[in-house]
Amino acid sequence: MRRRHILGSLLLAPLLTACFASGGGSDSSGDAKEGSRLRVALAFPPAENLSPYGADATILSRLGVTEGLTALDANGAAAPALAASWRRENARSWLFTLREATFQDGSDVTPSAVAAALTHATEAKPAPAALSGVTLTAQAAGDTAVRITTTAPDPVLPLRLAGPSLAVLSAKAYDDKDRVDPVGTATGPFALTKVTGSTSAALDRYDDYWAGRAQAFGLDVRFIADGTARASALRTGEIDIAEAVPVAQAATLDGATRKETATTRTTSLLLNSASGPFKDAALRAAAREAVDTSALAEGVYEGYADPGAGIYGPAVTWAEGKRQQPAGRARAGDPDGMDITLATYDNRPELPEAAQVLKQQLEKAGFKVALEVREYSRLESDALEGKFDAFVLARNTLVDTGDPVAVLAGDYTCDGGYNIAQLCDRNVDRAVAEAERPADAGRRQDAAMAAEAAVLGTDAVVPLVHQRLITGVADSVSGVLLDPYERTLVGTGTRR
Amino acid sequence: MAALVWRAALAAALVCGIGLLPWLTRTDPALTVLKARSADRDPTPQVLADIRAQLGLEQGPLRVLGQWLGGLWRGDAGRSWLSGEAVTPAVLQALGASLLLMAVALAVAALTAALICARTLWLGAHRRLDGRRAGGSGSAVLAALPEFLTASVLATVVGVQLGWLPALGWYGPRWTVLPALALGLPAGAVIGRLLDDLLPGAFAEPWALAAAARGLPGRSIARQAVRRCLPGLLPNLGLFVVGLTGGAVAVEQIFDIPGLGRTTLQAALAQDLPVLQAGTLALVLLAAIAAGLAALTTRLLVGPALRDGALSSLHRRPPPVRRILPIAYGLLLTVVVALGLPRDPLALDTGERLRSPSVSHPFGTDALGRDVLARVAHGAVDTLVLALAIGAAALFTGVLLGLVPRLSGPLVDTVNAVPPVLLALLVTAVAGSGPATPALAVGAVAWAPLAAHTSALLRQERAALHVAATRAFGAGRWYLLRHELLPAALPSVTRHALLRLPGIALALASLAFLGLGAQPPSPEWGLLLAENQPYAERAPWAVLAPAAVLALLGALAVSAAGGVRLPRRSWPARTPEPPSAEEPSPTKELVGIR
pLDDT higher than 70, residue B191: yes
Q: What is the DSSP string of A118-167?
A: HHHHHH-SSPPGGGTT--EEEEEETTTEEEEEESS--TTHHHHTTSGGG-
User: Hey, which of A12-16, A65-69, B28-32 has the most confident mean pLDDT?
Assistant: A65-69
Q: Give which of A373, A393, A395 to mutate to test B binding, by max B Cβ within 10 Å.
A: A373
What is the per-residue DSSP string for A356-369? HHHHHHHHHTT-EE
More confident residue, B306 or A332: A332
Instruction: Measure B199 CA to nearest chain A CA, in Å.
Output: 33
Report how far residue B36's alpha carbon sits from residue B51's, in angstroms, rounded to the nearest whole number: 12
Element (H, E) at B25: helix B2-25
Residue A363, chain B, CB below 8 Å: the answer is no
A81-111: pLDDT as tens digits: 999 999 999 989 999 999 999 999 999 999 9
pLDDT value of position A317 = 87
For the cut 90, the answer to whether the pLDDT of residue A286 exceeds it is yes
Chain B, 314 to 343: residues with Cβ < 8 Å from chain A are: none
- Number of neighbours of residue A385 by Cβ within 10 angstroms: 10
Query: pLDDT, tens digit, for every residue of B438-475?
Result: 888 899 889 999 999 999 888 888 888 788 888 888 88
User: What part of B 371-400 touches A (C-beta under 8 Å)?
Assistant: none
pLDDT at B577 over 50: no
> Are the beta carbons of A310 and A319 closer than 8 angstroms?
yes
Please give the residue that has the higher pLDDT: either B507 or A41: A41
Kindly tell me if the per-residue pLDDT of B572 is higher than 60: no
Q: Contacts of residue B347 in chain A, CB cutoff 8 Å?
A: 360
- Flag if A360 and B255 touch (Cβ within 8 Å): no
Span A6-58, pLDDT tens digits: 656 655 666 677 778 765 444 444 444 445 899 999 998 898 889 999 889 99
Give B 19-38 residues with CB within 8 A of chain A. Answer: 27-28, 31-32, 34-38
- What pairing do the DSSP bridges indicate for beta strands A461-473 and A258-271? antiparallel
The 10s digit of each residue's pLDDT in B100-150 is 999 999 999 999 999 999 988 888 888 877 656 556 678 888 888 888 888
pLDDT for B389 beyond 80 = yes
Pair B256, B338: CB distance under 8 Å: no
Spatial distance between the Cα atoms of B101 and B250, rounded to a whole number of angstroms: 13
Residue B323, number of CB atoms within 10 A of its CB:
12
Per-residue pLDDT, A255? 86
Query: What does each C-alpha distance from B283 to A423, B15, B147, B418 come to in angstroms?
Result: 47, 12, 20, 7
In chain A, residues with a C-beta closer than 8 Å to the C-beta of B156 are 232
Q: What is the DSSP string of A177-237?
A: SS----TTTS-SSEEEEEEETTTEEEEEE-TT-TT---SSSEEEEEE---HHHHHHHHHTT
How long, in residues, is chain A? 496
CA atoms in the 13 A half-sphere facing the CB of A349: 19
A349–B contact, CB cutoff 8 A: yes
With a cut of 80, say whether residue B335 has pLDDT above it: yes
Residue B530 near residue B517 (C-beta atoms within 8 A):
no
Q: How far apart are CA B55 and CA B61, in angstroms?
A: 11
Pick A251's closest partner by Cβ from B83, B346, B538: B538
B220 has a pLDDT exceeding 60? yes
Find the DSSP H helices in B311-365: 324-340
User: What is the rounded distance in angstroms from the CA atom of residue B367 to the CA atom of residue B535?
Assistant: 7
Q: For residues A201 and A26, give the distance between their C-alpha atoms in angstroms, rounded to a whole number.
A: 10
Residue in A132, A363, A377 to test binding to B, most B beta-carbons within 10 Å:
A377
Q: Do A55 and B256 touch (CB under 8 A)?
A: no
pLDDT at B276: 92
A295 touches chain B (CB under 8 A): yes
CB pair distance less than 8 Å for B171 and A225? no
Q: Looking at the complex, report in whole angstroms how far the Cα of residue B121 sits from the nearest Cα belonging to chain A.
A: 31
Q: Note which residues in 126-165 of chain B have CB less than 8 A from chain A.
A: 152, 155-156, 159-160, 163
pLDDT of A14 reads: 64
Residue B195: pLDDT over 70: yes
Query: Which residue in chain B has the smallest CA separation from A224?
Result: B256
| pLDDT above 60 (res A236) | yes
Predicted complex ipTM:
0.87
Give the count of alpha carbons within 13 A of A297, CB side only: 20
A43 touches chain B (CB under 8 A): no
Q: What residues have CB less than 8 Å from B429, skipping those under 6 apart?
A: B17, B20, B21, B24, B25
Average pLDDT score over residue span B15-32: 86
Across the range B560-565, mean pLDDT stands at 62
Interface residue A50 vs chain B (CB under 8 A): no
Quote the pTM value.
Answer: 0.87
How many alpha carbons fall within 13 Å on the CB side of residue A301?
Answer: 27
* Cα nearest neighbour of B173 on chain A: A20
Tell me whether residues B28 and A381 touch, CB distance under 8 A.
yes
Does residue A377 sit at the B interface (CB-CB below 8 Å)? yes
| Yes or no, beta carbons of A374 and B43 under 8 Å apart | no
Query: What's the whole-number average pLDDT of chain B?
Result: 84
pLDDT, position A173: 92
Judged by CB atoms closer than 8 Å, whether chains meet at B348 and A356 is answered as: yes
Q: Which of B350, B355, B514, B516 has the highest number of chain A CBs within 10 A, making it the mutation to test binding with A?
A: B350
Domains of chain B, residue spans: 2-348+363-565+582-590
Give phi and psi for B519, each to the nearest 5. Answer: -110, 150
Query: SS3 for B201-249, per residue?
Result: HHHCCHHHHHHHHHCCCHHHHHHHHHHHHHHHHHHHHHHHHHHHHHCCH
Alpha-carbon distance B565 to B486, whole Å? 11
**Residue of A198, A199, A375 with shortest CB distance to B513:** A375
Q: Do B170 and A399 touch (CB under 8 A)?
A: no
DSSP H stretches of helix in B73-214: 87-125, 137-143, 147-154, 177-203, 206-214
3-state SS assignment for residue A341: strand
Task: Check pLDDT > 60 for residue B68.
Answer: yes
Render pLDDT for B244-284 as a digit per residue (tens, 0 to 9): 998 888 899 889 899 999 899 889 888 899 999 999 999 99
- B39 within 8 A of B1, measured Cβ to Cβ: no
pLDDT at B159 over 80: yes
Q: CB of A137 within 8 Å of any CB in chain B?
A: no
CA distances from B225 to A242, B373, B431, B498, B592 (A): 53, 45, 46, 25, 21
Check CB contact of B348 with chain A, cutoff 8 Å. yes
Note which residues in 261-300 of chain B have CB less than 8 A from chain A: 269-270
Cβ atoms within 10 Å of A457's Cβ, excluding its own: 20
Residue B87: what pLDDT? 92
Distance, in Å, from the CA atom of A165 to the CA atom of A109, rounded to the nearest integer, reads 18
